[in-house]
Amino acid sequence: MGNKIMSMMKKDGSKSKRMNRSQRKLLADEELLHRRALSMAIHQTQLSQRFDGSMSRRVGSTSTRKQRTLSDPFSNGKQVPDFSSESLTVKKFVLVHGEGFGAWCWYKIVASLEESGLSPITVDLTGSGFNMTDTNTVSTLEDYSKPLIEYLENLPEEDKVILVGHSTGGASISYALERFPEKISKAIFVCATMVSNGQRPFDVFSQELGSAEKFMKESQFLIYGNGKDEPPTGFMFEKQHMKGLYFNQSPNKDIALAMMSMRPVPLGPMMEKVTLTAERYGKGRRFYVQTLDDLALSPDVQEKLVRENSPEGVYKIKGSDHSPFFSKPQSLHKILLEIAQIP
């Protein structure tokens, strides 16, 4: 009887090991597929995916600004009703990431825009994503934004694009709008640093991080690429801080990918005062997307930004953290389509 029980236990143990191996293989296969999808998206390859998201609902307006709040799920992940890319004169979206991120963060948005018949382009700013420049050598906003500026410089004269900037990518698209207002049809700031003339991108985060001067002296996240006796060259939050600040509503798989992909942030561009003129930047058509569960850039700060530097339209996404391309990708997708259709 004892031998029989032992034999059964061994069989159960072998079965359990086989199941564990099978489960591990499934998880590994799933992760491989996810990474392949990410790589394909970055390279602008057509994907077919469905994402959880939201529909918009009119909630009223403030002065001449249009405001929408998105919270209701799409039915069956279908595309936005009555949308046709054929009616659009501008179909190119240039997606610009924020601090620490890279082109990789837009992979869901790239896929959904392509499925809608549009042409999304992603850029890695200098020292970000797959751009292997040492972040410690990136000292100005011009250096940091160079890949975006070079893309716009090489754009055919008759072409226009819709710029989308996330977080501190807002400073880069503001800089681009000042440089090339004739090439930018619309600029969309996604929980972004929509700075005023003479303001530093870092100033927008001062409510959460303290003054720039205090941060430069006391922050535990600073990087001294030129040695401790020289001014800091960059910063990078610890993983637990990043999770809490940027991804409090994002799926675990996207958080894991971000933890593997985030890079240090060059400090110089964050501390540079941006020069913007009414004659160039001021003529641009700007739109702002607010994220209402954002812990990195609070809804109050975002509201202050749109009051002080009033855009043409304001959209709001409920249930989104500071990374709506992860936490509410279809809500963000729908907003981008709505803005693209505005005459």
Catalytically annotated residues: 167, 294, 322
Residue type (1 letter), 298: S
Cα separation, 274 vs 197, whole angstroms? 6
* 3-class DSSP assignment, residue 9: helix
Nearest in space to 330 (alpha carbons), one of 61, 131, 50: 50
Which residue in 168, 252, 254, 256 sits closest to 209, CA to CA? 168
Task: Collect all residues with Cβ–Cβ distance below 8 Å to 104 and sequence separation of at least 6.
Answer: 38, 41, 42, 129, 130, 257, 261
CA–CA distance, 59 with 39 (Å, rounded to integer)? 38
H-type alpha helices, the chain: 2-42, 107-115, 141-144, 146-153, 169-179, 201-204, 206-209, 212-218, 239-246, 252-261, 267-271, 299-308, 324-327, 329-341
Question: Alpha-carbon distance 253 to 257, whole Å?
Answer: 6
Q: Are 285 and 312 in contact (CB under 8 A)?
A: yes
